[in-house]
Amino acid sequence: MNRSIISYGVCGAVMLFGFAACSSSSGIGPGGADSTEVAADSRQGAGEGAASAIDQMNASEALYGAQTDVVNGAVVPAPLTPLCTGPDGGGWYHCDAQLENGVSITRSVRFWEGTDLGLWWNPGVTDSVNHQWTANGTITSQARPGRSLTVDDSAVGTMSVLRVPAGGNAIVTPLHRWEGTAAQHRLATYVLNSVERVVTHTGSDTVSALTFVPPRNQNPYPVSGSITVNETVHFTAGNFDRTDVRRIVITFDGTHIATLADGGVTCQLDLDTKVVSGCQ
C-alpha cells in the first residue's frame, strides 16, 4: 500500500493553471532583450529543471539499491553512517548531503511494506518509498555557455512499486511510478550582446504518474507521465524589465527526447544535454 506524505505551501510561489504570460514592460531592451528571449529562457529553465529532477529521482533510487533490482533478491543492507542514519521514530532515514552534477542534495527516505514501515529497501517486498530532498548550489548551464544558475529547490514525493501478476504467484518486472511536488527558486545570470541578463524562476513543479521500467540503471528515462511547471519568471536586462507567468508541461515516452509544451508552442527537451530546441 502506498503511503503518501506531506503537503506544503511554496514560499513566494504562485500556483498558475493555464494562464498566459503577462508583462511589466514591452518592446526591445538593451542588448536586444525582448519578449521572445524571455519566453525562450523560461522554456530552457523549465526544461533544465525537469531534466535535473529526473536525474535526482535516478540518484534517489540508486541511494538505496533500487536501480539494479528487477524482481526479487536479498535485502539491500542500509548504508552505515555517515551516509545515512535511521530509522527515526517516524521511519525516516536521513542522509548526508551528496554533490550531484554540481548541486548539493540532502535526502530523507522512508520505506513501506503494505501498511507497515520497512527497514530499508527490500526487493520484492517494498511497496513504496517516501522521499524528501533539498537541492542547493550554483552551476554552469549545459545549454547556454556562460549562464550561471543558482538553485534553491525542495521536493517531496513517493515512488510506488507496481507489480503485475503473471499467472499464479509469479511476478513480472515491476514498474516504478513517481508522484510528487517541488518548490523551486532559481537565479540565472548571463551576458548577451554585452548586456547582463538576470532571471529569477520562482514556482512549483508537479510530478504525475512518472513511470520507469526496471532495471533503472538501464532505463533512465520515464516511459510515460509528466512534469508540470507553474512559475513566475522575472527577467531584467539593463532597463528592460519583464515578468511572465507560465505553465509548461513536459511529457515522456521512454526516450531521451521529451516533449515540452508552453501554451500553443511545442519544443523538444533532450534529457541528456538538458537543451530545449525545435520550438514551433
Report how many domains make up the chain. Answer: 1
Per mean pLDDT, which range of 28-37, 63-72, 75-84, 145-154 is the poorest?
75-84
Q: What integer pLDDT is reported at residue 51 of this predicted model?
A: 92
Of the chain, the percentage scoring pLDDT greater than 90 comes to 57
Average per-residue pLDDT in the chain?
83
pLDDT at 10: 30
DSSP helix/strand/coil, 254:
coil
Do 197 and 45 touch, CB atoms closer than 8 A?
A: no
Closest listed residue to residue 186, CA positions, set 203, 211, 168:
203
Q: Give the pLDDT of residue 133.
A: 94
Whole-number Å distance between alpha carbons of 151 and 148: 10
What is the Rg, in whole angstroms, of the alpha carbon atoms belonging to the chain? 20
User: 28 CB contacts (<8 Å, ≥6 apart)?
Assistant: 34, 240
Element (H, E) at 108: strand 103-113
| Whole-number pLDDT of residue 78 | 57
132 domain residue, yes or no: yes
Q: Among 164-173, 200-209, 212-221, 249-258, which stretch is predicted with the lowest mean pLDDT?
A: 164-173
Overall average pLDDT of the 64-92 stretch: 71
Task: Provide the pLDDT for residue 66.
Answer: 85
Q: Is residue 10 part of a domain?
A: no
Each residue's pLDDT tens digit, 212-252: 988 888 889 999 999 999 999 999 999 999 999 999 999 99
5 in a structural domain:
no
**Which of 30, 35, 42 has its CA nearest to residue 247?**
42
Number of H helices, E strands in the chain: 1, 14
Q: Are strands 265-270 and 257-262 parallel, antiparallel or unpaired?
A: antiparallel
Confidence band of 194 (pLDDT split at 50, 70, 90): very high
Of residues 23 and 268, more confidence is placed in 268
Cis status, amide bond into 87, omega within 30 of 0:
yes
Residue 121 has pLDDT above 70, yes or no: yes
256 C-beta neighbours (distance < 10 Å), count: 13
> Which amino acid belongs to residue 52?
S
The pTM of the full predicted model, rounded to 2 decimals, is 0.84
25 vs 180, residue with greater confidence? 180
225: in domain: yes
Please report whether residue 14 resides in a domain: no
Whether the predicted pLDDT of 271 surpasses 60: yes
Distance CA 107, CA 96 (A): 7
Higher pLDDT, 20 or 154: 154
Q: Is residue 270 part of a domain?
A: yes
Distance CA 231, CA 42 (A): 9
pLDDT for res 197: 92
Instruction: Flag whether pLDDT at 21 surpasses 50.
Output: no
pLDDT bucket at 7, cuts 50 / 70 / 90:
very low
Residue 51 lies in a domain: yes
* Positive/negative CA dihedral, 205, 140, 253, 164: negative
Q: Report pLDDT digits (tens) over 41-76.
A: 899 989 989 999 999 999 999 888 887 665 544 455
For the four alpha carbons of 97, 99, 100 and 102, in that order, the dihedral sign comes to positive
Instruction: Determine the pLDDT at residue 17.
Output: 33
| pLDDT on residue 12 | 32
* ω into 215 cis (within 30 of 0): yes
Domain that holds residue 146: 30-277
Q: Does residue 11 sit within a domain? A: no
Q: What is the pLDDT of residue 14?
A: 32
